[in-house]
Amino acid sequence: MDKIRIVGGNTLNGTIPISGAKNATLPLMIASLATAETLTLHNVPGLQDVVTLSRILGNHGVDYAVAGRRSGAKRGYGSTVKLTAGEIVDTTAPYDLVRRMRASFWVIGPLLARMGQARVSLPGGCAIGTRPVDFFLDALSSLGADIDIEQGYAVAETRNGLVGNRIAFPRVSVGATHVAMMAAALAKGESVIENAASEPEVVDVASCLNAMGAKIEGAGTRTIRIQGVDVLHGAEHSVVPDRIETGTYAMAAAMTGGNVTLTGTRAEHLGAALDTLEEAGVSIERGADSLTISRNGNGLMPVEVSTEPFPGFPTDLQAQLMALMTMAQGTSTIKETIFENRFMHVAELARLGASIRLDGQNAYVEGQPSLTGAEVMATDLRASVSLVIAGLAAEGETTVGRVYHLDRGFENLEEKLSACGAQIERLAA
């Protein structure tokens, strides 16, 4: 099992290109099941989750072809892929495949809408708390699907096609919003999704579905209206920049000091996170499609943050912020409201010298003058990169184990950080 070795203490200076968003790429790939024509996606990041999902889609009959990087594009900007589901050969998503990645459960939406049936294993995924699929199934039931749970599988069918209806989520769910949009796009009549997720990735998927012939309005707000169409066609779409990767590298630059420009990103997708960094004393220069992050010797100030659905502070940046606050000049309070088990990185940060006290949903981070390198272990995707951020600033050597978590969500992480002066390398198992 590979590890990452970091020798801390170097400031970061240079440019980091931001990849396409993992959290948009996966549902966009799944949307290819909704049409028999080719869906072409640009700016697809080279991630293990993308590889895994391509295999899962292949099980349903999707032909997945990588067309290569854009001409002249720098490493880290992703590839162009073509997905063609000319014939759905299997409407079952087996446990052995779905357990590898939770988002693969989302195939239930387009499979049901296009084929009238789907049999999908209940999912696995990161160990960051209970994430039930009730919202997904309730949404499909609202559209007229008959759903049963049989031996660990959600079995959905509809004899006469899905029918538009009102879908009201009891709380915001990005995944359920994706699935509801895909299914309702091919339902008869109008559907209204209330309390919908408004994340940029939802907007990106809606834009792609509209390019495929769907009629979706209101994406990016809490109410989405969808007028169903008979069929969707092929389209060409570029994946939105990854705001979580952007925030992660911004925090890495803030942690180490120096001056780093993040290119190919959108500041408006990171409002709350950027506001928090500026509150902590980090300088941020916003460009048309870039962000320049600098600290240059200034101390970090403590912050008080609560994770919230977009446009609030994202839960996927909580661990990274905690790593940053371990060296702030005072005590920070970080409240996790999205997932109940997303503080597993605390024990590993403590191995580096962090002082963190947990009390229910709250983490109290008492800043320290310095951290010390140690051997640590990644517990999930975002937790793993928080350990990298801490290791970049820690004195001495840090070794991060279980880096397969990192490979699920960060394209060329070592190369991007090394190009800015970090002493970081991958150690093969």
- The 10s digit of each residue's pLDDT in 175-209 is 999 999 999 999 999 999 999 999 999 999 999 99
Same domain, 228 and 294: no
Does 360 lie in the same domain as 334?
yes
Identify the domain boundary among 178, 207, 238.
238
The token pair at 125 is 């995924």
- Alpha-carbon Rg for the chain, nearest whole angstrom, is 21
Strands (E), 101-174: 117-121, 146-150, 153-157, 166-168
Query: Nearest Cα to 290, choosing from 23, 20, 15?
Result: 15
| Predicted confidence (pLDDT) per residue in 97-119, tens digit | 888 888 899 999 999 999 999 99
What value does the mean pLDDT of the chain take?
Answer: 93
- Determine the pLDDT at residue 124: 55
pLDDT tens digits, one per residue of 399-414: 999 888 899 989 999 9
The rounded distance, in Å, linking the Cα atoms of 174 and 103 is: 11
Q: Confidence band (pLDDT; 50, 70, 90) for 162?
A: very high
Cβ(112)–Cβ(118) under 8 Å? yes
| Catalytic-role residue among 47, 126, 214, 293 | 126
Query: Residue 249 burial (CB < 10 Å; 0-12/13-18/19+)?
Result: buried
Relative to beta strand 362-366, strand 355-359 is antiparallel
389 vs 295: which has the higher pLDDT:
389
Determine the structural domain holding residue 205 and report its residue range: 22-238
pLDDT in tens, 412-424: 999 999 999 999 9
Residues 217 and 260 in one domain: no
Q: Average pLDDT of 279-284?
A: 96
- What pLDDT score does 117 carry? 97
336-356 confidence digits (pLDDT tens): 998 766 788 999 999 999 999
Does 126 qualify as catalytic in the annotation? yes
The tokens for 350 are 């403590």
Is the previous residue joined to 314 through a cis bond, with omega within 30 degrees of 0? no
* In the predicted structure, residue 74 carries a pLDDT above the cut 60: no
CATH code: domain of residue 221:
3.65.10.10
Q: What is the pTM of this model?
A: 0.94
Q: What's the CA gap between 357 and 366, in Å, rounded?
A: 8
Q: Same structural domain for residues 11 and 91?
A: no
Residues 373, 297, single domain; the answer is yes
Dump pLDDT digits (tens) for 76-92: 457 999 999 999 999 99
Residue 381 and residue 324 share a domain: yes
Of 71-80, 197-206, 362-371, least confident by mean pLDDT is 71-80
Number of domains in the chain: 2
For residues 203 and 274, state if they share a domain. Answer: no
**Domain's final residue, options 215, 238, 261:** 238
Residues 213 and 266 in one domain: no
The verdict on 346 and 406 lying in the same domain is yes
The pLDDT score that the predictor gives to residue 133 is 84
**pLDDT score of 222 more than 80:** yes
- The last residue of one of the domains, among 197, 219, 238, is 238
Give the H/E segment covering residue 415. Answer: helix 413-418
Q: Is 347 found in the same domain as 221?
A: no
